[in-house]
Amino acid sequence: MMDRLSRVLRTRPQQYVIQFRKGELKPQTRMSIASDLAKIILDGERERYQTQLGPLKESLMAFERTIFIAAILTPFAMFAAELSKVDPRRNVIAELASVFWAPKSLVGFQLQDMIRYQNSEQRRIVPPARLDASLSL
């Protein structure tokens, strides 16, 4: 389902177009677009960002994509700020999914990531600050 919501076209070397249906823009479409962007950067253009991303490890590709998508659609600092505002008696994941206009599965991943590494210096494979600063197209 996710693959049909958007698609990547390579127009020229290092130039891409992500297409989607304008009328169908919803959380799943946004995640599909972010997933396509992750494919472009983490797969297709990995050589350009070799110093920031490191060598390709097939066993970690799906996890890297999920972290990339989460960093784009639910940025950690904004996620933490919104989480502090949510009433814990309500469905926290549904509330945050509504705020970020992101699929519940992605919000659940981000929440798990936050809980897992809340007291740790090393939070992710690629910290969001480093990701934001190093990936300029």
Q: How far apart are CA 132 and CA 95, in angstroms?
A: 26
Hey, what's the torsion of the CAs at 110, 116, 119, 121, to 10 degrees?
A: -70
CA-wise closest residue to 7 among 40, 33, 43, 26:
33
Place of tokens 């494979």: 125
Domain enclosing residue 65, as ranges: 2-134
In order of 30, 39, 90, 119, the CA distances from 107 in angstroms are: 13, 20, 15, 20
pLDDT for 14 equals 79
Domain count, the chain: 1
Q: Summarize pLDDT for 69-107 with one digit per residue, the tens.
A: 999 999 988 999 999 999 989 999 999 999 999 999 999
Q: pLDDT tens digit string along 25-71?
A: 788 888 888 998 988 888 878 888 777 877 888 888 888 889 999 99
Q: Which two tokens stand for residue 91?
A: 């469905």
Phi, psi (5° rounding) for residue 7?
-150, 155
